[in-house]
């Protein structure tokens, strides 16, 4: 009887509204707590973790790339690869991308790279790819191609020469197939500006011997293509000269 009376007890509208508001507030608080662990929160945490890994890798690789030399390249490769292992455990991709960024900065913004330095950098990337996986070499190669395209478009001879020097030696290290190098040579022969001729000569000096040995038919095809392009340019130049002479004669 007392329970029934309690159940049937009159509750003023204001009190009912207050109780309902309290229930809604409690539910909202619980929902907010769940949102803190929701997809957006997890994504933000993952992004922050990735950003920290990239920053840590960049800081470490900057010092390593500055120290790398012909005598210590193997030791530097081992130290760089160790960043993706053990307690630090920076993702391999972050390590590779940091190495790519630092080397590309040196090639594009730095002084002319000597043959020895270009070979050292190529050896470093080849070694790092051997330790951490072929994706390192693939992403570095893509960065080289992009940098070369920009340097040629801007007619920046030093940057383009540095990029080609490392590109050629990566082929010598076995990271790229001959078809990739022949593709570059044919591209240079199509435009054949003064810069393109310089880049072509640099590539052949560094990689020509291995290209001939690995794919002699490809070398022959390239030479035929180049000779044809030179003949076209020579004929165009002769035609322009003849036209100029004719105009001069007509004026006399």
Higher model confidence: residue 173 or residue 52? Answer: 173
Higher model confidence: residue 73 or residue 247? Answer: 73
pLDDT tens readout for residues 194-207: 999 999 999 999 99
- SS3 string, the chain, reads CHHHHHHCCCCCHHHHHHHHHHHHHHHHHHHHHHHCCCHHHHHHHHHHHHHHHHHHHHHHHHHHHHHCCCCCHHHHHHHHHHCCCCCCCCCHHHHHHHHHHHHHHHHHHCCCCCHHHHHHHHHHHHHHHHHHCCHHHHHHHHHHHHHHHHHHHCCCHHHHHHHHHHHHHHHHCCCCCHHHHHHHHHHHHHHCCHHHHHHHHHHHHHHHHHHHHHCHHHHHHHHHHHHHHHHHHHHHHHHHHHHHHHHHHHHC
pLDDT tens readout for residues 129-156: 999 999 999 999 999 999 999 999 999 9
pTM for this prediction? 0.74
pLDDT tens readout for residues 41-66: 667 766 777 788 778 888 889 999 99
To 10 degrees, what angle do helices 92-109 and 73-82 make?
140
């Amino acid at each position: 009887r007392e329970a029934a009376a309690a159940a049937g007890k009159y509750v003023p509208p204001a009190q009912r509204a207050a109780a309902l508001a309290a229930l809604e507030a409690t539910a909202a608080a619980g929902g907010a707590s769940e949102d803190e662990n929701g997809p957006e929160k997890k994504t933000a945490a993952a992004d922050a973790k990735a950003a920290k890994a990239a920053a840590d890798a960049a800081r470490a690789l900057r010092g390593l790339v500055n120290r790398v030399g012909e005598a210590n390249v193997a030791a530097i490769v081992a130290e760089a690869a160790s960043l993706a292992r053990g307690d630090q455990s920076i993702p391999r991709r972050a390590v590779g991308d940091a190495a790519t960024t630092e080397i590309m900065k040196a090639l594009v913004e730095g002084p002319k790279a000597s043959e020895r330095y270009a070979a050292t950098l190529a050896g470093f990337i080849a070694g790092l790819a051997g330790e951490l996986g072929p994706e390192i070499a693939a992403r570095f190669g893509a960065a080289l191609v992009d940098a070369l395209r920009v340097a040629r478009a801007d007619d920046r001879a030093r940057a383009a020469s540095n990029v080609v020097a490392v590109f050629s030696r990566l082929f010598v290290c076995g990271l790229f197939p001959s078809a990739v190098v022949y593709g570059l040579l044919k591209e240079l022969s199509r435009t054949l500006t003064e810069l393109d001729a310089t880049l072509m000569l640099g590539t052949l000096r560094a990689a020509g011997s291995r290209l001939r040995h690995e794919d002699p038919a490809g070398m022959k095809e390239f030479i035929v293509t180049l000779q044809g392009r030179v003949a076209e340019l020579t004929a165009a130049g002769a035609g322009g000269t003849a036209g100029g002479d004719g105009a001069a004669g007509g004026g006399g």
